[in-house]
Amino acid sequence: MGEERGAGSGEAGGRGASPAGVGATGANGPAAVGAALAGRTIVVTGATGQVGEPVALALAAAGSNVVAGARFTDATARARLEQGGVTCVAVDLGAGEVGDLPAEADVVLNFAVAKSNRWATDLDANVGGLAALMEHHQRASAFVHCSTTAVYKPLGHHVFDEDGPLGDNHAVWPFLQTYSISKIAAEATARWAARRFALPTTIARLSVPYGDRGGWPAFHLELMRAGKPVPVHVDAPSVYHPIHERDIVAMVPGLVEAAAVPATVVNWGGDEPVSIEEWCGYLAELTGLDVVFAPTTDTIDSVQIDLTRMHRLLGHTSVPWRTGMRSMVVARHPELLARGGTTTTPS
């Protein structure tokens, strides 16, 4: 066990981005994943979630045989997946019950995450469940584990590359006490299992996903609608790398391609660093809603990331943040856009 295999050489280089840039989808239209994974059997766990569902549906639309794994606590999400040609298989990662997933699948994309805020539950699902999944799928050609930039130590406006210091980023939020630590532990599991099973693996540290289905900026929009202040860190501005759902979907083949032993670790975010202050200001401009910021130390700090490796392995993102946020408002609250101070779409 432990013999190196896989398409890319991970941290040492990998195959690199396709010449056109894997993320080049254009700013509008449905999320598209391209034909690179057509005809292959792909297991997508967490397929009813914010990030997993559009990926599963786009892969199925592009001709992959997609098997979705979740407990399917959301029956409507299951129905949407089945309508999109996805086969749904109930699994419970917390119990390590993944045996009904097809062990012969070519590729596994793990977007499942437990955020119960209970240590035992979240460690069992996010860490133990990942171990069970990688063991079950040890013969796959690639395993992509979705991690988070919430694994980085809070360090103000430091720009983190993949070797940056890790820490309990989300400890400041009482409702997400288990998140950063269980995600760090999950990365350790993925690293170990990649070697143990010689399973080419990518660990993708996702920044702030958003789109028509929601995300953190959509949550801020709801705060603004309710007339509530938006928390920002006192060390202003609060900067992240929001990445639109269309870019997430378009970069999946690159993440698969980058899988290697030892595991490839890559930051995964939008090309443009954008602050909460900037995106809420733009949402206010679009909708005419007021935004009131509440600077505090009781919220997470900026997490800025170095995207050099992402650009080499996956290409660039293509949805300008203002275009993506405007699309989000149109999808979720079109009535607000009509009253806004502007209806132009910045390029």
Ligand X SMILES: NC(=O)c1ccc[n+]([C@@H]2O[C@H](COP(=O)([O-])OP(=O)(O)OC[C@H]3O[C@@H](n4cnc5c(N)ncnc54)[C@H](OP(=O)(O)O)[C@@H]3O)[C@@H](O)[C@H]2O)c1
Number of C-beta neighbours around residue 253 at 10 A: 20
Show the binding pattern over residues 1-40: x = contacts ligand X (CB under 6 A), - = does not: ----------------------------------------
49 counts as binding ligand X under rule CB under 6 A = yes
Which residue is closest to ligand X by CB?
A: 49
Q: Which residue, 85 or 290, has its beta carbon nearer to ligand X?
A: 85
CB of 146 to ligand X, least distance (A): 4
For residues 287 and 337, give the distance between their C-alpha atoms in angstroms, rounded to a whole number: 5
48 counts as binding ligand X under rule CB under 6 A = yes
Helices (DSSP H) in the chain: which residue ranges?
52-61, 75-83, 119-123, 129-136, 179-196, 216-225, 245-250, 252-257, 276-287, 308-313, 321-332, 334-339
Show the binding pattern over residues 85-114: x = contacts ligand X (CB under 6 A), - = does not: ------xxxx----------------xxxx
Candidates 14-22, 48-56, 234-242, 273-281 — which segment interacts with ligand X by CB under 6 A? 48-56
Residue 26 burial (CB < 10 Å; 0-12/13-18/19+)? exposed
72 counts as binding ligand X under rule CB under 6 A = yes
Contact residue for ligand X among 81, 146, 303, 310 (CB under 6 A): 146
51 counts as binding ligand X under rule CB under 6 A = yes
Q: Which residues contact 99 (CB under 8 A, 6 or more apart)?
A: 136
CB of 190 to ligand X, least distance (A): 11
CB of 134 to ligand X, least distance (A): 14
Candidates 9-17, 29-37, 157-165, 201-209 — which segment interacts with ligand X by CB under 6 A? 201-209
- Cis? peptide before 30, omega within 30° of 0: no
218 counts as binding ligand X under rule CB under 6 A = no
For residues 218 and 286, give the distance between their C-alpha atoms in angstroms, rounded to a whole number: 13
279 counts as binding ligand X under rule CB under 6 A = no
Which residue type sits at 267? Answer: N
Q: How far apart are the first and last CA of the chain?
A: 50
For residues 245 and 198, give the distance between their C-alpha atoms in angstroms, rounded to a whole number: 31
By CB under 6 A, name the binding residues for ligand X. Answer: 46-52, 70-74, 91-94, 111-114, 125, 146, 148, 183, 206, 208-209, 215-216
